[in-house]
Structure 1
Amino acid sequence: MNEKTVGMLAKFTGVSVHTIKYYEKIGLLNSARREHSNYRSYDIRACTDIYECMKYKNLGFALKDIRNLIKEADSEAVDDLLKKRLEEIEAALSELQELKKRVTDYLAETEEIEKKLGNWYIEEMPDFWIRFQTENMEYGKDAQLESDGINFMDYAPESKSVLKISRESLNGMENRFSWGQEVRAEYIEDIEKNENVWSRQKGYIRIKGGRAFVLYLKITGPYASEGVLQKKIRKIYREFQQDTKIPGDAYCVRIKITHDEEGNDWNYLKIYILLKPES
């Protein structure tokens, strides 16, 4: 038999009836109506076109490119489209490698904080850019994260929520804290190039790193507004430095949030206090 119905063609080629009808609808396949019935029939060329469609589909080509490849493209055009597709794949692989690195790095952070919970260390604090959004529990004026072409949210998970607790609060005085978003300085070249402008006019604050007292804690509830975290930090710091006032502000970087069966959310914090803060 030289011609096949759509059902017979589907069995012959291994491609579904739905796909064949769709390819015909968008002009990738041609059929003819039989004189003695209302059924469409397909000749051997339809098999060739289906094979070509599936070949390029499995190479990831868009339907508009597939139409070009099987209906119009000469030898040079086929090669050009294959080269373009290869470039697209290379770009996608590069993006996936970057995404893999982000997930790998974040997993390492979550595993590190689980291992170090409740302990303190002397470590290096990196340089941060921070955009604060609250003063205590009040939203700040013009404190949006997106400003002048930079949006700290675009850098997540490299950017993280950060709670700054004032040195005075840590030493048992007036409770003062601010919430915001931080990004390591290395990630934002535009700010690095124009540091004075960004810090004076744009609402970004540069926190210089250095040797720091670092504490890993897991905590729930309104821990900042009620001073619970401040007391915990003060107690543990004074085990490290007896009868010594805490020398600087605390930068409490939130690594992750989890939930327990009672519905409590637990904040995992990596807390930095510079041993020799800038004056």
Structure 2
Amino acid sequence: MRYKIGDVSRILGISTDLLRYYEKKGVVTPQKDKNNDYRYYDTWDINFLIDCLWYKNFGFGIQQAAYLVTECYHGDLVSLLEEKQSEIEANIRRQQLLLGRMKKHLDDVLRVKDCIGVCEIGQSPDIVCYLNRFNFTYDNRDELLDLSRQWLDYMPFTQRYFEIPQDGLKGEGDDYAWGFSLSTEYVEALGITVKPPVVHNPSKMCIHSAFKSSGKNAFTPRHLDPILEYASKGGFKIKGRAQGNLVCSVLEEGVMTGYFEVWLPLE
């Protein structure tokens, strides 16, 4: 049985352009009708095309699939399959990390509303962080641009991270800094080097709480005043800067509202 190019395209669900490409690569050798120049394919050709689709669905490129079907010796086939297996395993590890990160983010989003204004004593997370915005100014020195882009590439494993210095907590200033934080569990997995300006913030005993801020440029250290009042009434002494992260931003009553989680370290 002979099949025209359109018939093969319908049988296999591939474009005629791809069929012509495989012909160019020698995967198939259709017979040409001398009278009308039509190409005719037989089942032998279709078998090779199915083999190409087999490898393509493993993630091999079109050109590589054509090579595997027409020019590949046994040793080369084993090497290429082992290489692809390693690539798939790496992708699975990445997807497992991504799934874990999604579960953690969903959990944070679900519970943050219940944490607003609630103060608890507990351990802060063990993180590494990188600050690159101070108040409204980004530190865009040339020597830091590559590092900043690297941290953008680490998303979504990172969190939007902020720090408020102790004088801001005391009401003596309104400065703050923004950047990114990353749980130490991801540091090795992502191959991150921890050296200045990237720093390690180990877990410490803190007051933990959450707050929200609505509208443009409304973020301020004064959002932490209720937490400081809790510390004062409880006889707790704050030691060092506050650190926290943006959990999510949502629309509330027509205004974008950020939900933030924060830790204030104790003596």
For the criterion TM > 0.5, the same-fold answer is yes
The alpha carbon displacement at 1:16 in A equals 4.5
**How big is the alpha-carbon RMSD for the aligned residues of Structure 1 and Structure 2?**
3.4
Q: Report the number of matched residues.
A: 261
Shift in alpha-carbon separation, 1:16–1:63, aligned structure 2, 3 A: closer
Normalization by structure 1: what TM-score?
0.75
**Cα deviations by residue, 1:185-205 (Å, 9 ceiling, x for unpaired):** 56547655xxxxx4xxx4445
Equivalent residue number for residue 195 of structure 1: none
- Unmatched runs of 5 consecutive residues or more in structure 2: none
**Structure 2 counterparts to residues 61-210 of structure 1, below 5 A:** 61-140=60-139, 142=141, 146=145, 151-184=150-183, 187-188=186-187, 198=195, 202-210=196-204
Shift in alpha-carbon separation, 1:96–1:27, aligned structure 2, 3 A: same
Equivalent residue number for residue 46 of structure 1: 45
Equivalent residue number for residue 54 of structure 2: 55
Equivalent residue number for residue 268 of structure 1: 259
The alpha carbon displacement at 1:265 in A equals 2.0
* Distance in 1 separating the partners of 2:229 and 2:49: 75
Q: Is the 8 A contact 2:124 2:263 kept in 1?
A: yes
**Cα deviations by residue, 1:15-72 (Å, 9 ceiling, x for unpaired):** 4462434432443221232123232223443233223223333333322232223222
The structure with the larger Rg is 1
Q: Which moved more, 1:209-218 or 1:167-176?
A: 167-176
Are residues 1:219 and 2:222 paired? Answer: no
The alpha carbon displacement at 1:125 in A equals 1.4
**Secondary structure in 2 matching 1:133:** strand
Normalization by structure 2: what TM-score?
0.78
Q: Is the 8 A contact 1:6 1:17 kept in 2?
A: no
The alpha carbon displacement at 1:178 in A equals 2.8
Identity of aligned residues (%): 20
Equivalent residue number for residue 252 of structure 1: 244
Question: Quick one: which amino acid aligns to residue 174 of structure 2?
Answer: N
Q: Is the 8 A contact 1:131 1:145 kept in 2?
A: no
